[in-house]
Amino acid sequence: MKMSNMENIYYMEDRLLLKTYIKRRIAIVNGKGSEVYDEKGRRFIDLTSAYGVALLGHSNPVIVEAIVNQLKKISSCHGSFYNDARAEFLNEISYFTSRFFSKMLLVNSGAESVDLALKTAFKKTGRSKIIAANRSFHGKTLAPLSITWNPDYKKGLEHIIWNRVVFSEYGNEEDLKNKVDSDTAAIILEPVQGEGGVRIPPEGYLKAAREIASDNGALLILDEIQSGMRRTGPFFAFEKERVIPDVTMLAKGVAGGIPIGVTFFTEEVSTVEEAGFHTSTYGGNPLACAAGAATIKLLRESVTEKEVEERSRAFSKRLEELKGLRIIRELRIRGLMIGIELRVRAKPIVDILTEKGVLVLTAGPTVVRLLPALNIPLSLVDEACSIIIEVMRSYESKLGSSATTG
């Protein structure tokens, strides 16, 4: 029997790919803005922005034009040569970052940018211990995996995972202080935990972490891979607490959909630089840099902090309607990082929303996570929220008296 095109897509991926992803049975083949389409042309409102990567929507015309123009010129240029697209990107992003950091290094992904941050801390301090946080997520390659909290990701790797990591209770200043000692190279934290459930720390926590690190001769590393790039309003989430880390990282949406990672260093920490310390074949390639420069220009000129806050308020106003439901434990919103913590499992609701044409994420077993594009139209915010509210109400009604209030 001849397979349909969609069935063939499923078959080829299932047959040839390692089964490391929990697949949704949708083949997304097209996207424009905050809407994506499957092979049959079915429309979905995308509140995931591909896990935060399509920061300014899918196939953003400004970013597409920058990529196409650059592809016609040259797509690869090793970092041992100078390049005009790379120089332009560095100049554009420094508009937002030069107040805090004097140097940066361009890599390929968030995980690699974390790896570089850790290498920097070890080299700068000569120490070997890292303090991370409960519910943290920093990546799944070996070094970032060591400082990622979830033990499920480490099964079968316990014998080689680096064991000089101590996990502190996120948001607990006293616990953090007690965990740091004379061999601590760095404290690494997310200003807002994404994978951990969109956890927002209490006011003053990041400032306390800064003081604890400085008092003990350790570095403070803030992982802005998900929370940066205006995701929470300002360019960096740490700006809300007026804290400056020694090292920070960006990735995900930096180039509007093209892979890139950036690690930033203060002047003092940048003294670790030397030839060969960290290089990468694709790091700072012209294609990613052209896309990145276009993305940064849009953040500077069009998608301002005010625009993000307007959309955040729109989501907050609509989702407040969920608070009367028994299945809702807590609503957490920081900019356009949104977590809806439930008293029931999140996956069934995520699956129903998918059937209804709204794509969302989970963040742990009981949290529905939204990471919409920063420029999502307000009309789509309203449409998507209406569907979310309808689905949550219907789900609770079907649970009836079995709906937990725990």
In DSSP notation, 97-151 reads HTTT-SEEEEESSHHHHHHHHHHHHHHHH---EEEEETT----SSHHHHHT---G
pLDDT (tens digit, 9 = 90+) per residue, 173-227? 999 999 999 999 999 999 999 999 999 999 999 999 999 999 999 999 999 999 9
Q: Does domain 59-109+251-303 have CATH number 3.10.20.30?
A: no
Domains 59-109+251-303 and 110-116+125-218+230-237 share a fold: yes
What are the boundaries of each domain within the chain? 59-109+251-303, 110-116+125-218+230-237, 304-343
The residue-averaged pLDDT of 145-163 equals 92
110-116+125-218+230-237: CATH number: 3.40.640.10
The residue-averaged pLDDT of 356-361 equals 98
Whats the size of the chain, residue-wise?
406
Residue type, 271: T
pLDDT for res 403? 58
Report residue 131 as tokens: 């303090």
The residue-averaged pLDDT of 42-52 equals 98
Other C-beta atoms closer than 10 Å to the C-beta of 237 total: 28
Residue 160: pLDDT band (50, 70, 90) is confident
Distance CA 362, CA 370 (A): 8
Strands across the sheet with 43-46, in order? 28-32, 35-38, 43-46, 358-359
The model's pTM: 0.96
pLDDT for res 55? 98
pLDDT for res 401? 57
The residue-averaged pLDDT of 134-150 equals 96
Least confident of 123-127, 161-165, 361-365: 161-165
Distance CA 224, CA 249 (A): 5
Could you tell me if 262 and 113 are in contact, meaning their C-beta atoms sit under 8 angstroms apart? yes
Mean pLDDT over the full length of the chain: 95
pLDDT for res 4? 77
